[in-house]
Chains A and B, each alone.
Chain A
Amino acid sequence: MAVSKIKKAHFIIHVKLKEEIISDLQKAGCVQIKDVTSKIEKSYFSHYKEVKDRQIESTLSEVKYCIDYFSHFKSKSKKPEKYIEKTKKLYDFNNLHNLFINYKYEDAYNECKTLDATLKDLKNRENYLTNLKDYLSEWEGLNIKIEDLKNSVKTSIMIGMTEIKNLPLCIQEINKIGKEIEIVKISESKKYCKLAIIAIKDHYETIRKVTNKYNFNYFKIPEDYSGDVKNIQQKIQLEMTNLKKEQETIIEKSIKIYEENLSLYIIFDYLSILKSRKDAERYIKQTDKVMVIEGWTLEKNQDRLKKFFYDKYKELEIVFSNPNKNDEIPVALNNNNFVEPFESVTELYGIPKYKEFDPTPLFAPFYFIFFGMCLSDAGYGLVITLLSFFALKKLKLEGMAKKFFGLFFLGGISTFVVGALMGSWMGDIVNYFPESMQPIRIFLLEKITLLNPIENPMPLLIISLVLGVIQIYTGFIIKFVSNVQEKKLTTGLMDQGSWLLFISGIIFYIITVVIPSFSAMKMFSNYVIYAGLISLVLTQGRGNKGIVLKIAGGVLSLYDLIGYFSDILSYSRLFALGLSTAVLAVVVNNFVMLFKDIPFFGIILATLVFIIGHVFNMVISGMGAFIHSTRLQYVEFFTKFYEGGGSAFKPFKAKTKYIKIKTN
């Protein structure tokens, strides 16, 4: 069904054609090249020599340097993607080559390098000045010129500060040293005192020792300045304004270069493509004359590939073969438009192995319904559908992102339908309709609505559990069918058959108890339960040795029943989450009505509360709907039959970041 058929392909070509063929393979984009270097045994294949095109790698790193440098200014200017989209949407590969040849990227690179270096220097200088400014602000009271502080031939001047509590002792001790010392208090604050000590040179060392003892903090003289502290501060201020201006000019220059050199982004992609080709060469084995490219391709592409390469080259042979059992075959999923978005859920869990079947079409309908039941509001459904529709149309998404938006688009539709059936339109907004819209209200609430979970929650709970039973049954049946396909009919009958019989019996029994008209069938349901029970006890312990252990294993397996019933109960979350969305929406509407009665700006407040409240509820409940629907598939459904753990088919193709390449 949905796992695509894969063929092994061998391209046997002349060495001369290596580069051309690799580039053509990349353009074709439908072959996954296999790494065979580790398996090379035969000696006639020469060992792979590291092909590193220095040219490409160094150029790429230089271009990347420019792009990184520009990224600092990108927010201040237009984005490269927009520019590229405007000029041309699709690039031809040959054009790219010409663009690269004619474009002098080195100029941009050199300019970026100088600008970057200057900018860094300016920033460093700015940091230095800011620190100096902060430091000097402590010394604002110093009215001496800096150049006067320089020591003369016979005297030295020491300026610094110390804690006031140390001051008397410190002065005392300094005075003891000699008579030719003058101590002047410059200023005093609560904790510190600033001092100037003037002494003849002979005393310098001794004073130094004493002051160090008292944690005397010397004033660091800013050597490259002159004048008093206030003067210096003004000079620094001036220099800083200049620095700012210089930085701005450099930023302006950079933005200009950035805008002139948007081609760099295209070059980056071009070089990345070239590099990926070089990387692919590592996977190839070759002799002196012949080389072999081994890879995987989808069966449907087989003829197209053959035609393309045979028409173009003569010295080439392509051999397609069926994959071996021992190969690790890559897996590509292939589903119709409805099912495809749900592949994202499968991929999150782990895609199937090649021999397994794809579970996506099997859970897609369940997921569709579950998502709707968890969110269950027609208004939210409509909003989500429209938003994801525009996202799909406008953003031109690919891969995983496209699938996710597709998932939300479908989920939105389901939410709309379920919400309408439960009469929930942004909560109970329909009730607030004015008199003139009464017919709409009656139509929405009385014609369309089937059940109202806020008034009467039980039916919805039962529906949730019934859906659970259906999905668990489906899981058993799928496993049974796959057992039959693998020619293990007896295993299927014993494992899944017994359980189906047993659980059906129990459910049948519950029905006969709850619904009186079925009570006549009670005996029959008992027989079904007994049959199931006996077959379970007889078969489930068959792996054990000896009759006693076999029976014991069978009896023990009944314990699984608890697991299956907790699985079914787990589906009650559909009810709880659906109800919580509805009730929260009603609460939001209640608040809106409270705010509406405030005079003057009550309407504005009410509108704000309405929008914020409903967006919040929609996002939180939407996240819950996605997560819990996913969980039900993973934990309750997949465990019945699915293994996963395959590796995805990743064809060798041009991967680009900024532009799109034309493909044939």
Chain B
Amino acid sequence: MITQGIVIAFLGSATAIGLACSGSGIGVGIAGAAGIGVLTEEPEKFGLVLFLQAFPGTQGIYGLLVGFWVLMKTGILGGSPMPITLDQGMQIFFACIPIGIVGFFSGWYQGKTAAAAIGLAARNPEGLGKAIVMVTMVETYAVFSLLASLLLFNGIGL
């Protein structure tokens, strides 16, 4: 049964996936452009560059994760949506906000950091370990917002 709540839940799921994946897209793009720059001179560093380029991709996965969780728990994915009230729908929407917004910005900025790390890896491979830590620092906030989204969703009590 399609209720107003279900419609809002759709909005939530779409927000989480859409925003977080956009952020990852931007981030992976930035890192990839830097990576190609390195590869033109040192093609043998492909594996390393790909590894670093993948970092900003995780935000999109977190968004996808929350989006799918909403779809699963509300029964939309199974084809028989639960009768969700408008209030519950709003709650679901708000639960999706953290990973959506944070995923967008954190993916974007992690892309910039990853691009810098790729530059460092090209010139001084020994500094890679430290560079990875710097890149992971940006990821932290995406993980926290994922946590917040999951906990908020868990509090709704469907």
Report if A570-B72 is in contact (Cβ < 8 Å); known contacts: A580-B146, A623-B54: no
Chain A: minimal CB distance from B45 (Å): 16
Contact of A627 among B68, B72, B132, B154 (CB under 8 A): B132
The B interface, classified by DSSP as helix, strand, loop or mixed, is helix
CB closest residue in chain B, given A458 = B154
Contact of B140 among A347, A348, A570, A580 (CB under 8 A): A570
Contact between chains at B130 and A587 (CB < 8 Å):
no
The A interface, classified by DSSP as helix, strand, loop or mixed, is helix
Contact residues of B between 129 and 145, Cβ < 8 Å to A? 129-130, 132-133, 136-137, 139-140, 143-144
Contact between chains at A572 and B150 (CB < 8 Å):
no
Report if A580-B65 is in contact (Cβ < 8 Å); known contacts: A573-B143, A620-B58: yes
Residues 47-66 of chain B, each 1 if its beta carbon lies under 8 Å from chain A, else 0: 00001001001100110110
The answer to the question of A576 belonging to the interface, with a C-beta cut-off of 8 Å to chain B, is yes
Chain A: minimal CB distance from B136 (Å): 4
Chain A residues with CB below 8 A from B120, complex form: none
Report if A576-B150 is in contact (Cβ < 8 Å); known contacts: A348-B129, A627-B136, A631-B136: yes
- Give the distance in Å from the alpha carbon of A465 to the alpha carbon of B72 in the complex: 28
Residues 62-97 of chain B, each 1 if its beta carbon lies under 8 Å from chain A, else 0: 101100110010000100000000000000000000
Report if A580-B133 is in contact (Cβ < 8 Å); known contacts: A575-B147, A587-B68, A587-B72: no
A-B CB pair tally, cutoff 8 Å: 73
Chain A residues with CB below 8 A from B7, complex form: none
Contact between chains at A635 and B137 (CB < 8 Å):
yes
Residues 106-149 of chain B, each 1 if its beta carbon lies under 8 Å from chain A, else 0: 00000000000000000000001110110011011001101100
Residues 328-352 of chain A, each 1 if its beta carbon lies under 8 Å from chain B, else 0: 0000000000000000000111100
The answer to the question of A584 belonging to the interface, with a C-beta cut-off of 8 Å to chain B, is yes
Chain B residues with CB below 8 A from A634, complex form: 129, 133
Contact between chains at A580 and B61 (CB < 8 Å):
yes
Chain A: minimal CB distance from B94 (Å): 18
The answer to the question of A15 belonging to the interface, with a C-beta cut-off of 8 Å to chain B, is no
Chain A residues with CB below 8 A from B139, complex form: 627-628
Extra contacts, 11 of them, besides A575-B147, A620-B61 (Cβ < 8 A), are A457-B151, A457-B154, A570-B140, A572-B144, A573-B140, A576-B143, A586-B72, A587-B68, A620-B57, A624-B58, A628-B139
Quick one: which of B64, B77, B147, B151 has the most chain A CB within 10 A?
Answer: B147
The answer to the question of A206 belonging to the interface, with a C-beta cut-off of 8 Å to chain B, is no
Contact between chains at B150 and A349 (CB < 8 Å):
no
Chain B residues with CB below 8 A from A457, complex form: 150-151, 154
Chain B residues with CB below 8 A from A579, complex form: 150
A-B contacts, 18 listed (Cβ < 8 Å): A348-B128, A349-B129, A457-B150, A570-B140, A576-B147, A576-B150, A583-B68, A584-B61, A587-B68, A590-B77, A620-B61, A624-B58, A627-B132, A627-B139, A628-B139, A630-B132, A630-B133, A635-B133
Contact between chains at B72 and A577 (CB < 8 Å):
no
